[in-house]
Amino acid sequence: QVQLVESGGGLVQPGGSLRLSCAASGRTFSPLAMGWFRQAPGKEREFVAAIIWITGTTFYGDSVKGRFTISRDNANDTLYLQMNSLVPDDMAVYSCAATRRPENLRTERAYDYWGQGTQVTVSS
């Protein structure tokens, strides 16, 4: 069984930066890809970014492109999300997810494993 644990959320002022981490554990953690999603109160879960685990190929949602960077540390089974130029609309619970299936990585249904999420608050 794969377990995903996010960390790094918190309160940041508009224009600031945060780096989220997602530590994966499990006897045979070998995902095809991992991703980040976010959900703000009263809104649907939104795709943020995804990365192919072996190749490092990345995908981004339109609202974060150019501001956020997804990366991974294969040796330590850790996923990252560097978030820069944060705005109040970025405020949400951010969750990481992993999949072994070659499906559309921009959709929730592509992922089999999810973390509990970490809160990101953007406010002055």
Q: What is the pLDDT of residues 42-68, one digit of tens each?
A: 999 999 999 999 999 999 999 999 999
Mean of all residue pLDDT scores within the chain:
96
- Please report the pLDDT score of residue 27 as a whole number: 73
Number of CB atoms found within 10 A of residue 119's CB: 12
116 touches 52 (CB < 8 A): no
- Please report the pLDDT score of residue 17 as a whole number: 98
- Please report the pLDDT score of residue 32 as a whole number: 94
Q: Who contacts 41 (Cβ-Cβ below 8 Å, separation ≥6)?
A: none
